[in-house]
Amino acid sequence: MRHLRRCKQLFCLLFGGVVAVTAAAIDVDRAKDVYGPCAACHGPFGAGGKQGEYPRIAGQSPKYLELQLQAFQSQGRINLPMYPYTRERELSDEDMKLVSAYLAEIALPTRPPVFKDSDDALTRLRAMEKVMIVPRVEGNVDNGQVVYQKNCAVCHGKTGHGRGMFPMLVGQYTNYLQKQIDAYLKGERPHDEEGATTGALYTLKAADIQDVLAYLTTLQEVRP
């Protein structure tokens, strides 16, 4: 049994491809340096664009982030603005792991913090910059819950916080999610790791998708 565990560990080190970087192992200064160019679009805390033009990446699954960076670099996922930042000479595999682990640890609260009287204006401003609340959108939340739990939860988690290679959906901009859904349905972006254009998403009606998006905006206070 001990020999088997050692073999598995060796296999993961040699062939795993995606090796997690634990929070304790993160070189924060180095990670911030790597992330620096990304902040121009994704913001200093990974919150993305206010209108969803750039996605929230803070708190996202580190494995998912790393896989997407690799896909951008190889152009397995076509995104021309991302390509210059992910070419091998710009972002190594080691840096991808590091920045993905760093971003995964950033928490964006959904409520303003309680300030002390002694907190100055700069302290209050910096704290408020990290608060991220996705506005509610129209839709039948009850139906959205049923549709989501039946079709989406198995991969994205019951509370939408993602799982492994599947991304967190809760706390993401609705406009961005809709844009990605449209890309999936048009075949511009594969919906799973094998590049298939089949699956639950392609069986849903437009109204059901809208209801799911509405439901996701109600989960922002929920923790996995």
**pLDDT tens digits along 25-47:** 789 999 999 999 999 999 999 99
User: How would DSSP label each residue in 82-127?
Assistant: THHHHSTTTS-HHHHHHHHHHHHT----SS-----TT--HHHHHHH
Q: What is the pLDDT of residue 7?
A: 39
- Average pLDDT for 76-99: 88
Amino acid at site 130: K
Q: In whole numbers, what is the pLDDT of the chain averaged over residues?
A: 85
pLDDT band at 194 (very low <50, low <70, confident <90, very high): low
Q: Which of 30-34, 73-77, 195-199 has the lowest mean pLDDT?
A: 195-199
Least trusted range by pLDDT, from 89-103, 104-118, 195-209: 195-209
pLDDT in tens, 109-123: 998 899 999 999 999
Check pLDDT > 50 for residue 54: yes
Cα–Cα distances (Å) from 150 to 128, 153, 212, in that order, read 36, 7, 11
* pTM, two decimal places: 0.82
> In which band, very low, low, confident or very high, does the pLDDT at 48 lie, cut at 50, 70 and 90?
very high
Which residues are CB-contacts of 189 (< 8 A; sequence separation ≥ 6)? 77, 180, 183
pLDDT of residue 192: 58
